[in-house]
Amino acid sequence: EVQLVESGGGLVQPGGSLRLSCAASGFTFSSYEMNWVRQAPGKGLEWVSYIGTSGTTIYYADSVRGRFTISRDNAKNSLYLQMNSLRAEDTAVYYCARDLYCSGGSCYLAFDIWGQGTMVTVSS
């Protein structure tokens, strides 16, 4: 079964750090680009970061650039998000999402598989 499972969320004080993980299974992780998307309580979806298959191409949303670092370990089938200098406004459920949909011999860029999310709460 194709699956993404996030972990690492929790309660952290403002200014603190947290590292999220996303474990992939059921597909060739190294062939897929990946993203982090977050959702503050009662709010909409906000894209956070993207990483290419080899880890050399990386993008961030303005709201997290300079504080968050996305990375991946293809040998461990894992995606990571290192979050530093956390703020109250970073409080959210964080989802990892696979970024390629292949069907009928063709592939299309799309967030086709999402994890269940992990909650990050930044509060004193």
Q: Which stretch binds another protein (CB under 8 A): 13-21, 70-78, 83-91, 96-104?
A: 96-104
The yes or no reply on residue 44 touching another protein (CB under 8 A) is: yes
Cα–Cα distances in angstroms (integers) from residue 8 to residues 27, 56, 68, in the given order: 22, 24, 14
Cβ closest to another protein, residue 12 vs residue 37? 37
Cβ closest to another protein, residue 12 vs residue 97? 97
Sign (positive/negative) of CA torsion 105, 50, 69, 9?
A: negative
| From candidates 56, 62, 66, 105, binder to another protein by CB under 8 A | 62
